[in-house]
Structure 1
Amino acid sequence: MNCLIVDDNKIARTTLRQMAGKVRDLIVTGECETAMDAYNLMQEQPVDLLLLDIEMPGMTGLELTKHLGDNRPVIIFTTSKKEYASEAFDLNVADYVIKPVNPARFLQAIDKARDIIDSRREEVKLEEDNFLFIRDSAIVRRLNLDEILYAEAMGDYVKLHTLHRFFAIHTTLKAVEERLPVSRFIRVHRSYVVAVNKIDTIQDGAIVIQGKPVPVADAYRAALNRRMNIL
């Protein structure tokens, strides 16, 4: 992950750089004292992650976030002020860390950012490769990922259920799961992987997809609830 530190306080920038330097996959590509400097730099050198202060001379971190729009990097606010938290999270940032930044809290925020960045990369990959090839009897068939409702393990085979039929493939559910983008599919049981956008309801310990119940195991329930962002 490429990272840009934006803070008008030199000591704060140095502290963040030192913490970032201890994270193996985090590369600090630059530092800026103002939000405007950061904006100009990102026009020439896009980054994956912004460690962004809020109160700075001229443009604030909140204003920069709004100005960057939908194609902005993942943002972690690092600030000594708690009162901006609600507005910050309304902007759908990864995290909001209060200074002085604790190393453990910093790593927690980086983990959140990494998950978001990985998800974005999966979505980009999906746009480039929105299908897979399966062996259907003696035929190798192209199957669009959007057709798949869920995958079901059945002994030495996996059934890929679509709206009107299913395809039985001689493979393992683990192998199928590894081929499906995590941005669109989730394991809910040792025998089932489902398409998140095909879920109609969740009730009585099961997911319902096109009227068909799919069991949810207790071991996967918490992850499913987080993924569904249930209110």
Structure 2
Amino acid sequence: MIVNNVVLVEDENDLAQNIKEILGSLGFYVSAVFDNSLGALEFIKLNKVDLLILDIMINGDMDGISLAMEIKKKIDIPIVFITAYSENEIIKRVIDVSPDGYLLKPFTKESLKTTLLLSLSNYKKRKSNEVDIKNDEVTIQIRDKGFISLIPVSDILYAQADGLYTKIITTKKTFMIRDILKDLEARLPASIFLRVHKSYLVNMNCIDSFNGKLLQIKDVQIPIRRGFYKILRSLLGNHVEN
């Protein structure tokens, strides 16, 4: 699961900008900020979103809880509520949505960080439990020289964007497909593949080592996005760190 594209829905502009800055300092990239349900819903329909952070009382016909329920009908993404409300009626509605996280205002930078990392971890575990077959049995179809090849996803080391094409490097050979990296990412299990840079998607099980700027898979060094080091540590632990 990647956290490159975070959407924030908060109707207090100053608070929204403050949260956006905090998220940036924690290594999360906020791709869009909305104060209303309609704008957020339309954006999420058209764009890949890795994490949705929602206030409950927002502008528009739907509040944050109704918006989350509407989004969950169409797409499964990690959702975290941030709100000043803790009444029983609100809590009951939140429980019906089954969000991955819930944080009461006012909050500190550390409490926000903890909530988000735990939420992403919970989401990752939930998605892994939904997979009914073993990861090494999952395959994707790749067109290669006029033939359709079935490639086990466990064989994929990493993928690299190349304009309108994507280069897929596996344990056996390299493929060039006519898909952008985002489209390939959507076809692969989020529990295994991580978008560490705008141009690179990697198999987390194949990472040998990493530091604040690079990660290594076999003899290849791959850049990681600025601020992504802490996310890697939280997802992979310290056992492969340089």
Which TM-score applies when normalising by structure 1?
A: 0.52
After TM superposition, the structure 1 = structure 2 runs for residues 83-94 of structure 1, keeping only pairs within 5 Å, are: none
Equivalent residue in structure 2 for 1:214, among 222, 227, 240: 222
Q: State the SS of the aligned residue for 1:21.
A: helix
Q: State the SS of the aligned residue for 1:171.
A: coil
d(CA) in 2 for partners of 1:194, 1:125: 21
Aligned equivalent of 1:166: 174
After TM superposition, the structure 1 = structure 2 runs for residues 89-128 of structure 1, keeping only pairs within 5 Å, are: 114-128=119-133
Query: Is the CA contact 1:188–1:221 (under 8 Å) kept in the aligned structure 2?
Result: no
Based on CA coordinates, which of the two structures has the bigger radius of gyration?
1
d(CA) in 1 for partners of 2:88, 2:173: 54
Please give the root-mean-square deviation of Cα atoms over the aligned residues, in Å. 3.6
Q: Could you give the per-residue CA deviations for residues 80-119 of structure 1, whole angstroms, max 9, x where no partner exists?
A: xxxxxxxxxxxxxx99xxxxx95767x9688666534432
In structure 2, list runs of 5 or more residues that go unmatched. Answer: 1-85
Query: Is the CA contact 2:121–2:235 (under 8 Å) kept in the aligned structure 1?
Result: no
Aligned equivalent of 1:179: 187
d(CA) in 2 for partners of 1:137, 1:17: 60
Query: Is the CA contact 2:161–2:167 (under 8 Å) kept in the aligned structure 1?
Result: yes
Quote the offset at 1:221 in angstroms.
3.1
Q: State the SS of the aligned residue for 1:168.
A: strand
Change (3 A) 1:194 1:112: closer
Change (3 A) 1:189 1:153: same
Task: State the percentage of identical aligned residues.
Answer: 25
d(CA) in 2 for partners of 1:200, 1:118: 24
Aligned equivalent of 2:91: 20
Deviating 4+ runs (over 4 angstroms)? 101-105, 107-114
Number of positions where the alignment pairs a residue of Structure 1 with one of Structure 2: 148
Q: Could you give the per-residue CA deviations for residues 15-56 of structure 1, whole angstroms, max 9, x where no partner exists?
A: 785452242xx229xxxxxxxxxxxxxxxxxxx89xxxxxxx
d(CA) in 2 for partners of 1:18, 1:114: 23
Quote the offset at 1:178 in angstroms.
1.5
Q: State the SS of the aligned residue for 2:190.
A: coil
Quote the offset at 1:163 in angstroms.
1.5
The higher-RCO structure (CA 8 Å, 6+ apart) is 2
Change (3 A) 1:228 1:193: same
Equivalent residue in structure 1 for 2:138, among 124, 130, 133: 130
Which TM-score applies when normalising by structure 2?
A: 0.50
After TM superposition, the structure 1 = structure 2 runs for residues 28-43 of structure 1, keeping only pairs within 5 Å, are: none
Equivalent residue in structure 1 for 2:160, among 132, 149, 152: 152
